Structure 1
Amino acid sequence: MKLKGLRSLVLAFVLTAVTLSVQGQSQSKSQVEQSLKEFRTWMQQKSSQADSTIRREWPTVKEEYKELTYSLDQNTKSMTESSRSEYAAMKQRYKEWEERNETRKAVDLDGQELERWERTMTGTTHIGRIKPALLRDAFARALDYTREERRNWSLRDWDYAEFVLGELQTRKSELLDKLNNGDKIKIAALQVEFVTLKKSREAKDAYQEMREEKR
């Protein structure tokens, strides 16, 4: 009887431990999904803001991002496969934001002047809100302006133009699944053309510098 009672006690203990473990895992997964939901809401909120607002608030945005992703990074194994995929996509989107804003900081672009370039090249200062159906036209407008004005541009002007094209590229990445194949192909061609035009300017400057050195 004593042995039987001991076995029953051990069995009850094991069952209780397993139950608590399962509940703990369930609670952990629930907490992770809640954190992911908060991060998703934050990303949607930032996406709806004007690009100029994001730039002004960038230091705060970076801190908020770190706080929101810290625990998520530690618990990706607790996520479902679809949640992990979504989380990775949102982090990639943020990485592109960061690259654009850090680049702007590195070349010290003036905020008001940058907005002027955005408006002139794309027709809007809200590049992050451009709809899928209008993205191709925005790229085409930017390239039309580049073709017409590039011969008069200083290197500083190219910095602004390149930043605007980078913002368009970020928006393209966000909308990639919503673009038709025709738009994807055309936009890719326009991007290649911009890079070619810029390299042509760089080659011209290098040649001119070489000639001046030989004098």
Structure 2
Amino acid sequence: MKNVTLYLLGWCFCVIALLSSCSASKETKVEDELGDFRNWISQTTSNISDRTEEDWKKAKSDFATRTQELDVKQENFSDELKQDYQNLKQQFNDADKQYEESRRAARLTEWEQKLLGSYADKSTITRENVRQVYITFMENVRSQRSNWTDQDWEMAKMVMQTLNDRKDEVDEDLPTDDEVKIKALQMEFKTLETGGDLGGNN
């Protein structure tokens, strides 16, 4: 009986040791996978301003694939690893937001040059010439809009908004006829943007 008891105890010990070994092995594998993901995040989010649009698009696709696989394995994560994983995903999402903002700013600068010409530098827009700036803007819109995409119109709207903001800064005591002219041009832009075309006058 004593031998049987010892045998059972030994067998239980082996089973526990085996389970512990498997658990430790699984945890080590999880930590290794998360470590690889951490290294990838670090490399991918460094110097994002130097990345091309195509390069960043590929990075986002890789991120989606990696997180899809790791999300399934989260049940094997400890609470600490789960938090670490969430932090890494947030780090990438923050980098993505920063990248999109930098791209948008660069595109806005490009479109300001296209639609405002020499007035792209807002400091050159004054009460005396703001009317002419709107005229220049609409002349360029009319001449370029024929092949614009929805995204192009969004950029044009952003340029118009920056122009409107600048006008608000300099329009104190703006002559009534200038106000009327500017309002007409703003309305024309809105009409063109929504698909109509009222024409324009300079």
Q: What TM-score does the superposition give when structure 2 sets the normalisation length?
A: 0.51
Look up the match of 1:141: 123
CA shift, 1:10, in A, is 0.4
Alignment match of 1:24 (pick from 20, 25, 29): 29
SS at match of 1:163: helix
- Quick one: structure 1 residues 208 and 39, their matched pair in 2 at CA, closer, same or farther if it must change by over 3 Å? closer
Identity, in percent, stands at: 8
The letter for the 2-side match of 1:45 is: D
Structure 1, residues 133-181: CA drift from partner, whole Å, max 9, x if none?
xxxxxxx4386586541123322478789738859x9xxxxxxxxxxxx
Q: Is the 8 A contact 2:48 2:95 kept in 1?
A: yes
Structure 1 residues 62 and 22, CA, compared in 2 at 3 Å: closer, same or farther?
A: closer
Tell me what 2:3 maps to: none
CA distance in structure 2 between the partners assigned to 1:157 and 1:117 by the alignment: 10
Higher helix share: 1
What is residue 155 of structure 2 aligned with on the other side? Answer: 163
- Give 1:38 shift: 1.8
Offset at residue 27 of structure 1 (A): 0.7
Task: Provide the secondary structure at the position in 2 that maps to 1:41.
Answer: coil
Deviation of the 1:66 alpha carbon = 3.7
Identify the residue that residue 184 of structure 1 maps to in structure 2.
Answer: none
AA of the residue aligned to 2:95: M
Q: What are the equivalent positions in structure 2 for 1:24-173 lying under 5 Å apart? A: 24-41=29-46, 43-46=48-51, 54=52, 58=53, 60-61=54-55, 63-74=57-68, 75=70, 78=82, 80=84, 81-96=86-101, 120-122=118-120, 140-141=122-123, 148-152=132-136, 153-154=138-139, 155-156=141-142, 163=155, 166=158
RMSD between superposed Cα atoms in Å: 4.9
Structure 1 counterpart of 2:90, which letter?
S
Deviations 1:17-40 (A, max 9, x none): 111122112112101111111211
Residues 29 and 79 in structure 1, CA contact (< 8 A), matched pair in contact too:
no
Q: Which has the larger radius of gyration?
A: 2
Match of 2:9 in 1: 4
In the alignment, is residue 190 of structure 1 matched against residue 170 of structure 2?
no
Contact kept, 8 Å, 1:117 with 1:161, in 2: the verdict is: no
Query: Which residue identity is paired with 1:8?
Result: F
Provide the C-alpha distance between the structure 2 equivalents of 1:67 and 1:87, rounded to a whole number of angstroms.
12
Unaligned runs of 5+ in 2: 1-5, 75-81, 146-151, 170-180
User: Does the 8 Å CA contact 1:121/1:142 hold for their aligned counterparts?
Assistant: yes
How many aligned residue pairs are there?
154
Asked if structure 1 preserves the Cα contact closer than 8 Å seen for 2:131 and 2:182, the reply is: no
